[in-house]
Chains A and B, each alone.
Chain A
Amino acid sequence: MRRYQGDASCAGPAEPAPPAGESGYTAANFTPRALAIVLGVFCVVVLAGEALAQMRSGGPSRSIVATLVAWTPLILFGPPREFGGFALNIAVSFLAMAIGTVAGLFLGIGQISLSPAVRKVSWAITQFFRNSPWLVLLFFVMLLTPFQIKIAGYTIPLPAWLKATFGLSLPVMANFAEIVRGSINSIPTSQWESAESLAFTRMQTIWRIILPQCVKRMTPPWMNWYAILTMATPLISIVGVNDAMTLTQDALAAEQRSELLMPMYGLLLVFFFVYCYPIARWTIYLERKFAVRS
């Protein structure tokens, strides 16, 4: 971020140099230890399940590890020739984040509109979706939207996963709108004043001068919400989508072995953890980096 704040030779107000040890986020830094702990706990769960299985079963049954290995492709990628599983969770998280980010950007800008009507409506929408339970929102969207829409003679189907994605994007939108509003307000008013005195319109000032300066402030909380969203994606299993959660439950139903419950759900937790933990670490790293320099 040197391009924003300058180097030590700058004659401006002195800034503390970043601590020498802060070489940044490296793979060797935090992630492996936490990953090892989680995987260790997971192994204990599997071994306990294994022991339980041997005590209970008289006949030969497949070992727990072999069972997990056998189901892993399905849980990760869905049934053959179908898109689903953990990959679907990730795809839904990407799409919901994209929708939520764009909508939240406009909603956040709406909250600083000069028109009181726009400001109040934006505020109300933000507050409503920030303070609603995600699961209830999801049901609402599923029930409110039709299974297909007709535009100019074309019938566009709205599959359940798409509706669910839209439902998840609503709380993301509202929370990102707050991030946008907050970071716009954190830009000194002198920036607005100098843009105004150069005859920039308000919209030009927002898009060309204020928002570009907000990007680095918005990035860490935005990433944080992405991780939260990803961890919320198993909610879509309740609306009949073949996501990793649904498939895990399907696998358990097919196996009919109670000693598999903990290891199977444990495996699902590991998938999410392995994906979300590095994002969380990276977020913390960026937060620190921006805090030191600004």
Chain B
Amino acid sequence: MTVAAGWTPDQPIIRIVDVHKSFGTNAVLKGVTFDVAKGEVVCVIGPSGSGKSTLLRCINALVPIDKGSIKVEGREVHDPALDKLELRKKVGMVFQSYNLFPHKTALDNVMMAPLHVLKRGKDEVEAQARQLIKKVRLEGKEAAYPGELSGGQQQRVAIARSLAMNPDIMLFDEVTAALDPETVKEVLLTIRELAEDGMTCMLVTHEMGFAREVGDHIYFTDRGVIVEHGPPESFFKSASDPRTRQFLSQIL
């Protein structure tokens, strides 16, 4: 995606302003506003049903918003004239349930989008895909089908699959929620390395320890609004809002 005229990398890469979204009569987002800077790692936490996943889906236009504005690299995501495919080429997304393509091997899963969406050459795509599989520490699993991999391995293939599009932003939607504790670590390690490489990451997560360690900024959402936010140290030590404190006391 060519960035919008006037946008420079020192401005927020994601700018969310007063976003509202309802499903029928159920208001999920009720005026959410925040910015994400390039290279920043933002963690969104909060009880289930507080609109975290919906917010992520709004950023790559999987879900349309009712009111407000979301700008990615200066482009209004919900402008009807926007080419959604161009946006999605630059915004990778990883899901809770991995959603790998079960009829394709790990390598093919990683190669499919660059081959068919970006129309890049096969040799180049395969070389990059093998490198990415190595990066997520799954060397030797290239020919395995998703059903032959553990949850943690599948999730790392899913991360590699998103990275193969060379995105500017990665969205992670509770990517460790469906995993058993041993495999959570390997996925978090992969995300941490991504963050250290300077990838802009937005995570919806319940891994408080990870959010504290890797996050640059924590947002706590409840019932469709951001209740409290701040850098991890102050957020976890001295949350002022009673709802945040209650939530943290249950989790930590």
Q: Which A residues lie at the B interface, using CB under 8 A?
A: 2-7, 10-12, 190-191, 193-201, 204, 208-209, 212-213
Q: Would you call B165 and A10 a contact (CB within 8 A)?
A: no
Complex: how many Å from CA A209 to CA B116? 11
Contact flag A199-B112 (CB < 8 Å), given A6-B148, A209-B101: no
Q: Would you call A213 and B88 a contact (CB within 8 A)?
A: no
Q: Would you call B97 and A199 a contact (CB within 8 A)?
A: no
Complex: how many Å from CA A208 to CA B108? 12
Which of A6, A10, A193, A194 has the most chain B CB atoms closer than 10 A to its own CB? A194
Q: Would you call B117 and A12 a contact (CB within 8 A)?
A: no
Q: Would you call B117 and A198 a contact (CB within 8 A)?
A: yes
Complex: how many Å from CA A3 to CA B104? 9
Contact flag A199-B85 (CB < 8 Å), given A190-B95, A194-B95: yes
B161 within 8 A of A: yes
Partner of B102, one of A4, A200, A208: A4
Q: Would you call B89 and A199 a contact (CB within 8 A)?
A: yes
B150 within 8 A of A: yes
Residues of A within 8 A of B86 (CB): 199
The 10 closest A-B pairs by CB, nearest first: A6-B147, A194-B99, A11-B150, A199-B88, A198-B113, A197-B93, A6-B148, A5-B147, A199-B85, A190-B99
Additional A-B contact list (16), CB under 8 Å, known A4-B147, A6-B149, A11-B183: A6-B147, A7-B148, A10-B148, A191-B99, A194-B93, A194-B101, A196-B62, A196-B88, A197-B62, A197-B93, A197-B162, A198-B113, A198-B165, A199-B85, A201-B85, A204-B117
Q: In chain B, residues 61-92, which have Cβ atoms closer than 8 Å to a Cβ of chain A? A: 62, 85-86, 88-89, 91-92
Tell me what chain A mostly uses at the interface: helix, strand, loop, or mixed: helix
Contact flag A208-B148 (CB < 8 Å), given A190-B97, A198-B165: no
Residues of A within 8 A of B112 (CB): 198, 208-209
Complex: how many Å from CA A7 to CA B161? 23
In the complex formed, the residue of A with least CB distance to B93 is A197
Q: Would you call A10 and B150 a contact (CB within 8 A)?
A: yes
Q: Would you call B62 and A12 a contact (CB within 8 A)?
A: no
Complex: how many Å from CA A212 to CA B145? 14
Q: How many Å from the CB of B26 to the closest CB on chain A?
A: 19
Contact flag A4-B88 (CB < 8 Å), given A198-B161, A208-B112: no
Chosen A-B contacts, 9 in total, with CB atoms closer than 8 Å, are A2-B147, A10-B148, A11-B151, A190-B99, A191-B101, A193-B99, A195-B101, A198-B162, A209-B112
Q: Would you call B113 and A199 a contact (CB within 8 A)?
A: yes
Residues of B within 8 A of A201 (CB): 85
Complex: how many Å from CA A63 to CA B117? 71
Residues of B within 8 A of A10 (CB): 147-150
Complex: how many Å from CA A5 to CA B148? 7
In the complex formed, the residue of B with least CB distance to A195 is B101
In the complex formed, the residue of B with least CB distance to A7 is B148
Contact with A along B118-145 (1 / 0, CB 8 A): 0000000000000000000000000001
Contact flag A12-B150 (CB < 8 Å), given A4-B145, A190-B95, A199-B88: yes
Q: How many Å from the CB of B201 to the closest CB on chain A?
A: 15
Residues of A within 8 A of B162 (CB): 197-198
Q: Would you call A200 and B149 a contact (CB within 8 A)?
A: no
Q: Would you call B147 and A198 a contact (CB within 8 A)?
A: no
Residues of B within 8 A of A6 (CB): 145-149
Partner of B116, one of A4, A191, A208: A208
